[in-house]
């Protein structure tokens, strides 16, 4: 699909753009079907594992786009093509944290304003203790991203490390218990209907939602991206901007649908935030790991991907933003000023790409402040403590005698 970015004529672009009439509602519908499956599955397996399945299915279009770009970089390994591969995954990750997380907060806050009868005000999205697993799933791969920046090189060894981190994360989620059945009253009508079915039919419907949504996304993703590409060409969006911001925004669209669908409910806003966080984890690990694998297959041998200073700045920006995002959520809350800060830092670099170095300084200052406040006890970095408790309770639990 991306091979035709430069070659697509204005007339062909207009023709592709018209396909958005059916591709857009189709991708939304597929995302909602998967969301119903995940909302139902959280009562049968841990919520984190259900959201992980959801995130993997929803990020398939992004993996496909990155795979195509990495293949082209392997065929013609120029700094420009490597830069496009870097731009796509860094743009995708920065969109999730810098735009996705803040939007979840403000959608939840907006819908709460319409429910003034509630006695408590909406000050923050408060995460459950089990969500510390997802937060640590962001933290550790982010630290490894700094290693990649320092090395200025991405290899198959990095792919192995990142994939291993993801598998460890999955294994922890598999040990966590499902949500309590009495909370079924919180779910939407369709998931509630599914959960009310007999055991076999219920499980069939849940996996049917995942499978049907995944198949739909698989077949719709390419026409959807092509229709959006056509729109971007008609509007006049430059190729690099399309690769870094437009393509990731569109390829991540399914997860935004489900996350915003849950964000309108204050009680489910933590689930919405963790839906997008699960996507961050998948992209920090598996998406980055995919690049050297496809690159080497395309080149026909074992090669490393070398980054120049511009590529390293892009990756460093992504790592700094992800680390800041983790530290913000490490007290198990997400507040308005934090959402504003994350969004503004993303929006400024989107509008003025030339000030990336200045944005790095701001990120670094905020990170240092969060760490100092944490050590001073002003901010409680509870994610570490809760994660340790979960590991002891569910992973290292004593054997019954």
Phi, psi of 328 (to 5 degrees): -65, -40
Given a contact cutoff of 8 angstroms between Cβ atoms, the answer to whether 84 and 238 are in contact is no
Q: Does residue 400 belong to any structural domain of this protein? A: no
What is the per-residue pLDDT for 182?
Answer: 44
Q: Does residue 247 belong to any structural domain of this protein? A: yes
Which residues make beta-bridge pairs with 153? Answer: 306
| 341-395 residue pLDDT tens | 999 999 999 889 889 899 999 999 999 999 999 999 899 999 999 999 999 998 8
| 168-190 residue pLDDT tens | 999 999 988 887 654 444 567 88
Closest CA to 355 of 308, 313, 312, 311: 313
Question: Looking at the 3D structure of the chain, how many domains does it have?
Answer: 1
Q: Which residues contact 324 (CB under 8 A, 6 or more apart)?
A: 342, 363, 366, 367, 370
What is the per-residue pLDDT for 1?
Answer: 46
Its pTM stands at 0.85
Q: Domain span at residue 369? A: 2-395
For 79, the token pair is 């700094």
Q: Does residue 401 belong to any structural domain of this protein? A: no
CATH number, residue 121: 1.20.1420.30
330 has a pLDDT exceeding 80: yes
């Amino acid at each position: 699909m991306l091979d035709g970015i430069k070659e697509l004529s204005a007339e062909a672009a207009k023709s592709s753009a018209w396909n958005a009439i059916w591709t857009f509602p189709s991708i939304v519908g597929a995302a909602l079907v998967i969301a119903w499956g995940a909302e139902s599955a959280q009562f049968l397996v841990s919520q984190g594992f259900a959201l992980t399945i959801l995130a993997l299915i929803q990020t398939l279009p992004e993996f496909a786009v990155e795979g195509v770009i990495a293949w082209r970089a392997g065929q013609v390994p120029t700094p420009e093509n490597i830069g496009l591969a870097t731009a796509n995954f860094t743009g995708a990750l920065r969109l999730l944290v810098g735009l996705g997380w803040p939007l979840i907060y403000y959608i939840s806050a907006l819908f709460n304003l319409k429910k003034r009868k509630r006695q408590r005000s909406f000050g923050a999205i408060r995460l459950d203790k089990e969500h510390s697993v997802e937060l640590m799933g962001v933290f550790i791969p982010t630290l490894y991203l700094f290693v990649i920046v320092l090395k200025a090189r991405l290899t198959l060894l990095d792919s192995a490390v990142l994939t291993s981190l993801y598998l460890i994360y999955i294994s922890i989620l598999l040990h966590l218990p499902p949500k309590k059945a009495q909370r079924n009253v919180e779910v939407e009508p369709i998931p509630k209907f599914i959960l009310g079915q007999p055991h076999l039919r219920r499980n069939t419907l849940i996996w049917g939602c995942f499978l049907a949504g995944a198949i739909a996304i698989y077949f719709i993703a390419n026409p959807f991206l092509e229709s959006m590409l056509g729109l971007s060409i008609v509007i006049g969006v430059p190729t690099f901007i399309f690769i870094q911001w437009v393509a990731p925004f569109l390829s991540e669209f399914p997860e935004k649908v489900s996350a915003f669908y849950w964000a309108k409910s204050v009680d489910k806003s933590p689930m919405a935030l963790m839906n997008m966080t699960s996507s961050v984890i998948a992209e920090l690990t598996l998406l980055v790991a995919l690049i050297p694998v496809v690159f080497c297959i395309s080149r026909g041998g074992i090669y490393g991907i070398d980054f120049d200073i511009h590529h390293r700045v892009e990756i460093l920006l992504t790592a700094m933003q992800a680390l800041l995002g983790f530290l913000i959520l490490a007290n198990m809350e997400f507040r308005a000023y934090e959402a504003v800060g994350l969004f503004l830092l993303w929006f400024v670099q989107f509008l003025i790409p030339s000030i990336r170095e200045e944005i790095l300084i701001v990120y670094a200052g905020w990170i240092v402040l969060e760490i100092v406040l944490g050590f001073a006890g002003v901010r409680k970095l509870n994610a570490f403590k809760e994660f340790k408790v979960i590991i002891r309770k569910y992973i290292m639990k004593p054997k019954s005698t």
